[in-house]
């Protein structure tokens, strides 16, 4: 969750800067803002993503490099189905309340085109949790 995006970005940013800038879009998670029970490793990795890419945005803001941090809540993917409990047992449950991946992608594209630095994607529960966390 952290090393893949970080290493890929490290490899491509010099080329982007030589070309005059560009967009980096990275997927974090609401759990990059706060953790929930039974997802400590996932939350830790997404906190690392948040910090790394917020710093990258600050470092290269004047260089034309735009960084969009996407902070989704539940998206209907296999992530929750493949998640494991503390003893390593897969949960096997799909998050039914999640938005569709295509709806998420549409919001990401719109945010990138608008030059937004961060995008929160999710339902009222995620928005409320983020508001309370601040």
Residue appearing with tokens 């980096």:
24
For residue 17, being part of any structural domain is answered with yes
Assigned token pair, 12: 């491509």
Domain count within the chain: 1
| Residue 94, SS3 per DSSP | coil
The pLDDT confidence band at residue 134, using thresholds 50, 70 and 90, is low
What pLDDT, in 10s, does the model give residues 89-112? 877 776 667 788 899 999 999 999
Q: Decide if 66 contacts 116 (C-beta within 8 A).
A: no
For residue 41, being part of any structural domain is answered with yes
Residue appearing with tokens 């945005």:
57
Distance CA 100, CA 113 (A): 20
pTM of the model: 0.81
Tell me which residues are annotated as active site: 42
- CATH number, domain at 12? 3.40.50.720
Q: What is the H or E stretch that residue 100 is in?
A: none
Q: State residue 90's pLDDT score.
A: 78
Residue 29 has pLDDT above 70, yes or no: yes
For residue 134, being part of any structural domain is answered with no
Among 18-27, 29-38, 118-127, which stretch is predicted with the lowest mean pLDDT?
118-127
Q: State residue 130's pLDDT score.
A: 67
Distance CA 65, CA 49 (A): 17
What pLDDT, in 10s, does the model give residues 47-59? 999 999 999 999 9
Domain region containing 111: 3-129
Assigned token pair, 112: 């990138």
Residue 20 has pLDDT above 80, yes or no: yes
Q: How many other CB atoms are found less than 10 A from the CB of residue 36?
A: 11
For residue 8, being part of any structural domain is answered with yes
Q: Decide if 25 contacts 57 (C-beta within 8 A).
A: no
Q: State residue 26's pLDDT score.
A: 97
The pLDDT confidence band at residue 65, using thresholds 50, 70 and 90, is very high
Mean pLDDT estimate for the chain: 88
């Amino acid at each position: 969750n952290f090393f893949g995006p970080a290493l890929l970005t490290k490899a491509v940013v010099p080329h982007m800067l030589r070309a005059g800038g560009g967009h980096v879009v990275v997927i974090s998670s609401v759990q990059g803002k706060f953790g929930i029970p039974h997802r400590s490793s996932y939350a830790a990795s997404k906190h690392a993503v948040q910090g790394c890419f917020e710093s990258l945005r600050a470092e290269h803001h004047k260089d034309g490099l735009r960084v969009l941090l996407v902070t989704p809540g539940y998206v209907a993917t296999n992530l929750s189905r493949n998640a494991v409990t503390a003893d390593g047992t897969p949960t096997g449950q799909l998050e039914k309340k999640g938005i569709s991946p295509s709806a998420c992608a549409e919001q990401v594209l719109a945010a990138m085109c608008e030059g937004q630095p961060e995008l929160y994607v999710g339902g009222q529960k995620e928005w409320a949790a983020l508001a309370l966390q601040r």
